[in-house]
Chain A
Amino acid sequence: MDPSRGRDDGAQQPGATGDRSTLTLHINGTEQTLTLDHRTTVLDALREDLGLTGAKKGCDHGQCGACTVIVDGRRANSCLLLAVAHDGARITTVEGLADGDRLHPVQEAFLDRDALQCGYCTPGQICSAVGMLGEAADGFPSHVTTRTAPVSAPAPLDAPEIRERMSGNLCRCGAYPRIVEAIEDVAP
């Protein structure tokens, strides 16, 4: 990532020791150049600077998953990511999952199964599920994957696997049974 790109509006570039930097994030396919205080998290940049309020702030400490987005193809807690450290990153939020008017299959499944009550955790659940399905397809094991499972094959997703792999997303309404069903509908 070339730290010198981005416009020069007097802010310090990454690599300097001021307390602001200019950086570029590719959000849902759109390049965004921002000058931010180094303390700004990806979550705050999305919500406060870019008006993308899909990702939610639940705990702000990595404990709830409401802020989950997909960074360079991997799900992550955006509340613990410093924006300046993610200069150049490609980020997908819940706003970027649909293909035009066609919802992502995980979004459709959440609607079909009515997998929410208040909805606060839902964007994080959906982004997490999308990331998790990719991890399983790539053969990532989980804590409940049997020790004898083949090492390079896609990991099969039954309900216990889904529950374990989604444990980073809390739902205070307790919509878990429907969330698991929705993901089972989409899982291969």
Chain B
Amino acid sequence: MKPFGYLRARSTAEAVRESSAHPGAGFLGGGTNLVDLMKLGVETPDLLIDISRLPLDQVGDTDNGGLRIGATVRNSDLAAHPAVRTRYPVLSQALLSGASGQLRNTATTGGNLLQRTRCPYFQDTSKPCNKREPGTGCPALEGAHRDLAVLGHSEHCVATHPSDMAVALSALDATVQLHGPDGERTVPATEFHRLPGDTPHRDTEIRAGELITEVVLPPRPDGAGSLYRKARDRASFAFALASVAAVLGVRDGRIEHAALAFGGLAHRPWRAYAAEEALRGAPATGETFERAVDAELAAARPLRDNAFKVGLARSLAVDALAELAADS
């Protein structure tokens, strides 16, 4: 690991100021991804600005009945929070399906959103990788890509975003609050992560020196239920092969509200707008669910070794919707 300086930020303003003053600096949240990648030589900050003790560790109601989640709230505290468990179960379940008890105790909201891909070439500095070193190529296109993208990928990168939490935030229409050298701004969670295109080195819309200060959830749509389903290679403590976050509101047998997002399939949580379109106003039946999910997954372009993900995602989504409909 490269030597680095360390600075414990005492305020958001100080963190942003120091980050702008040191282009080689990185923010340290829980460190469960950053320290890992520093050991691998993938991340090489010359200064760590520790933001883990900033007073951004609160979860609280917004004026309109939504929820405000500080950037340094630990994943385990967020998953256990009564407001999250009762009003946004999809978020609690997504968090609990990720990593391990130890890691969730350390990992933060901000760090979870900004964790990097688990593509094996990205993590191996002896290999080329457009995301790590723009212009060097993408060995995953022809190589080990069983776990990688089936939607929205490009010839430059076929990586997936590994976060479970981010998939739930996408389906919940959360917003990400950023504080940077030019002030504050808000980015919808659905647009926070990017598709790779020809600039795969940029995972998200965050700009240099910007700090995530909080994530805000809008109020839960009236009467809608939500849940998270994840398929992985072992029963626990593994990243998603495919996952789905579903929010569904049904009245008198008709779908009033539907939001669906897939994880493990793309460079960002894949919000299934085509499926939602087909769901809204339709009868809440298995046939509707299958038709809607198929409408979305028609866009899938699997690679040589990962076509299985499409069928897997389909089953997860249809089952999730059916379970929510049965509950309502």
Contact = CB atoms under 8 A, between A and B. Distances in A.
A164 interface: yes
A19 B106 contact: no
A156 interface: no
Given A62-B36, A143-B97, A163-B236, A15 B7 contact: yes
Given A3-B8, A167-B237, A141 B99 contact: no
A68 B237 CA distance: 15
Contacts of B36: 61-62, 80
B50 interface: yes
A56 interface: no
A46 B39 CA distance: 18
Contacts of B30: 80
Given A77-B106, A81-B31, A135 B76 contact: yes
A18 B5 CA distance: 5
B312 interface: no
A129 to B, nearest CB: 10
Contact of A14 (B8, B82, B235, B237): B8
Nearest to A38: B6
Contacts of A41: 35
Interface size class of chain A, counting residues whose CB lies under 8 Å from the partner chain = 35 or more
A61 B103 contact: no
Interface in B1-57: 1, 3-8, 28, 30-32, 35-36, 38-39, 47-48, 50, 52-53
Nearest to B10: A15
Interface stretch (B85-93, B189-197, B253-261, B265-273): B85-93
Contacts of B47: 17
B92 A75 contact: no
Interface string A131-144: 11001001111110
A164 B236 contact: yes
B102 interface: yes
Interface in A23-39: 37-39
Contacts of B5: 16-19, 38
A75 to B, nearest CB: 5
A182 interface: no
A146 B99 CA distance: 19
Contacts of A84: 6
A68 B48 CA distance: 24
B32 A62 contact: yes
A39 B50 contact: no
B236 A39 contact: no
5 contacts: A39-B38, A80-B103, A85-B28, A168-B99, A168-B237
Interface of B: 1, 3-8, 28, 30-32, 35-36, 38-39, 47-48, 50, 52-53, 76, 79-80, 82, 85-86, 89, 92-93, 96-97, 99-103, 105-106, 227, 235-237
Given A80-B106, A147-B227, 10 more contacts: A15-B8, A77-B32, A77-B102, A81-B31, A82-B28, A138-B80, A140-B79, A141-B80, A163-B236, A168-B99
* Closest 8 pairs (CB-CB, A-B): A168-B100, A17-B5, A167-B236, A19-B3, A167-B237, A74-B105, A143-B96, A140-B80
